[in-house]
Each structure stands twice: as structure tokens, then as C-alpha cells.
């Protein structure tokens, strides 16, 4: 397996992976899977902002999963905080793909200047929480019953990890 930046040629695979999770799971609170054009737009928005969007590939080049980060919220004061998203192809779960993607994403986000990473775990997914905890994330809060999907109320768990110097020093530039 290798981890590398996603490109527009990966959009169909990314959309397919995500569609499975939207349709069958609770990690995403979207109820209708976005099409390839929408996923291409999302990829472009992240890449154009110089934030990381990574894919995990098998030896034969197949996309096994993807991960990306974007600024946690749009306001300038959030400039140094990012939120991650990780989705693994449904038939590759439990094989270390998510862990490899998240480890690489942490490094990329630190390199692009983020100081905090937030995981917003929909459906209080225990596997996602365990993955994040294994890489040093700590529980930062739970919002109870804020989503509804597949006929049930869903909690959202927030986890957080400091990147680089975290909050131990001022950033190189104050948000404007």
C-alpha cells in the first residue's frame, strides 16, 4: 500500500467509496451520495486551498481509501484548526488502511501549518473513535442525538489532537 496525493483521476473511486458509507452507514450524515462532479468540486476546493487530500493505493493502483483535511470552520480565527475526513473502501476495513491514511494526514496537516486537528465522528462510530485514539486523539465532547439516519438518532463524538507546537506558542501570523 502507498499513500499519495489524490488527483482528479481518483474522483470516481472516491465517490464510490463515499457512496457506500452514505448509503449504508452513519459516519456521514449525508443521506444522498454526491455524484462524481460534486466530489470533483470538493477535491478541488481542498487542493486549491493547499490542504491535503490523500489516497491509499494497493500495489496495483486501486484506491483503498482516502483522507483529507480542511479548515475546521470558515472564520479567520479557525485558520490553525482543521477537521479530518477518512473513508476506507468497505471491503478493506480493518486492514490498516485508515491508520496509514490518518498517520500521513497528521504529518501533512502539520506541514501546512495547522495546529489542531478535530475528528467529527458521526454516529459515534466505535471503530473510528478507536482509530483516532490509537494515533493520540483525545475525547473532546459528545453531542447527543443531533443526527437522524436509518431510523435512529445519532450522537456525534468530537476528538482532538495537537499538531506541532499546538497551542504552546503563537502562530507565525495572527488570523486577519
* pLDDT at 31 (0 to 100): 96
pTM: 0.96
Could you give the CA distance from residue 145 to residue 23 in angstroms, rounded to a whole number? Answer: 19
- Report residue 123's pLDDT band, with 50, 70 and 90 as the boundaries: confident
Among residues 112, 135, 125, which one has the least CA distance to residue 158? Answer: 125
Of 139, 156, 150, nearest to 23 (Cα)?
A: 150
Domain map (residue ranges) of the chain = 2-162
pLDDT tens across 132-147, in order? 999 999 999 999 999 9
Q: How far is CA 129 from CA 26, 27, 101, 102, in A?
A: 13, 11, 15, 12
Beta strands in the chain (DSSP E): 2-5, 53-57, 63-71, 81-88, 116-122, 138-149, 152-162
Q: How confident is the model at residue 172 (pLDDT cuts 50, 70, 90)?
A: very high
Per-residue pLDDT reduced to its tens digit, 96-108: 999 999 999 999 9
- CATH among 3.30.365.10, 3.20.20.140, 3.40.50.10240, 3.40.630.30 for 2-162: 3.40.630.30
Amino acid at each position: 500500500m502507498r499513500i499519495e496525493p489524490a488527483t482528479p483521476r481518483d474522483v470516481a473511486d472516491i465517490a464510490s467509496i463515499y457512496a457506500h458509507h452514505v448509503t449504508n452507514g452513519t459516519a456521514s450524515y449525508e443521506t444522498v451520495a454526491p455524484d462524481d462532479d460534486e466530489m470533483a468540486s470538493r477535491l478541488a476546493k481542498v487542493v486549491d486551498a493547499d490542504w491535503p487530500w490523500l489516497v491509499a493505493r494497493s500495489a496495483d493502483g486501486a484506491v483503498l481509501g482516502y483522507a483529507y483535511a480542511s479548515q475546521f470552520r470558515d472564520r479567520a480565527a479557525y485558520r490553525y484548526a482543521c477537521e479530518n475526513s477518512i473513508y476506507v473502501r468497505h471491503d478493506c476495513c480493518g486492514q490498516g488502511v485508515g491508520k496509514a491514511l490518518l498517520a500521513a494526514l497528521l504529518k501533512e496537516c502539520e506541514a501546512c501549518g495547522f495546529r489542531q486537528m478535530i475528528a467529527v465522528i458521526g454516529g459515534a462510530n466505535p471503530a473510528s473513535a478507536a482509530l483516532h485514539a490509537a494515533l493520540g486523539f483525545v475525547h473532546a465532547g459528545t453531542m447527543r442525538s443531533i443526527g437522524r439516519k436509518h431510523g435512529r438518532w445519532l450522537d456525534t463524538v468530537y476528538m482532538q489532537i495537537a499538531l506541532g507546537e499546538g497551542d504552546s506558542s503563537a502562530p507565525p501570523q495572527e488570523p486577519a
